[in-house]
Amino acid sequence: MTQRHLIGRYLKDLSPGRLDWIGLRPARKADMINVEAVMALAELGLEGDHRCDKTPGSGRQVTLIAAESIRTVEIYTGHLHIAPELLRRNLVVSGINLNLLRHQQFRIGDALFEATALCHPCSRMDQALGKGGAATMFGYGGLCAKILETGVIRVGDRLVPVIG
């Protein structure tokens, strides 16, 4: 049995999550831009994000992190508040266990996504969070995903797993 099937059997028990924040990186290492809505382009990425210009079909077109994971990283690092753009993920979601979405399809707004892999922290997290920041984020870095169907996503949209 594949990991997709093993994890997938729990999806029916999940309540929908919520999209809380959208961030775009116009260029590699550029500051993130916070937006309220964006077009998610199938096989490419988020319109206006530098990943959209990378290899079509990549499994890392979009990165997601759970707001609950950000809170955990705040506790471990002693930060009172970590702004989402500091962690360089595209989407912050809440109210859903992102780990159960790995290798699964889900909808946000009009777009269909498939989670592909864990999004491990890079050494830039030591700069952002202080020494040990990358190590602290390990296991809390979220997921990478690809976009299967084009659609608009907006802050406040529900994140709904596709069951079946």
User: What's the pLDDT score for residue 1?
Assistant: 58
What is the arrangement of strands in the sheet containing 45-46, beginning at the earlier edge strand?
45-46, 37-41, 151-154
End-to-end Cα spacing for the chain: 15
123, two tokens: 């050494």
Q: What pTM was computed for the model?
A: 0.91
Rounded CA-CA distance 59/85 in Å is 21
Whether the CB-CB separation of 159 and 139 falls below 8 Å is answered with: no
Residue of 37, 33, 11 lying closest to 155 (CA atoms): 37
Amino acid code (one letter) for 149: E
User: What's the pLDDT score for residue 28?
Assistant: 84
Amino acid code (one letter) for 121: P
Residue of 104, 114, 99 lying closest to 149 (CA atoms): 114
Q: Which residues of the chain have pLDDT under 50?
A: none
User: What's the pLDDT score for residue 63?
Assistant: 96
Rounded CA-CA distance 21/35 in Å is 8
138-156: pLDDT as tens digits: 889 999 999 999 999 999 9
Whether the CB-CB separation of 43 and 57 falls below 8 Å is answered with: yes
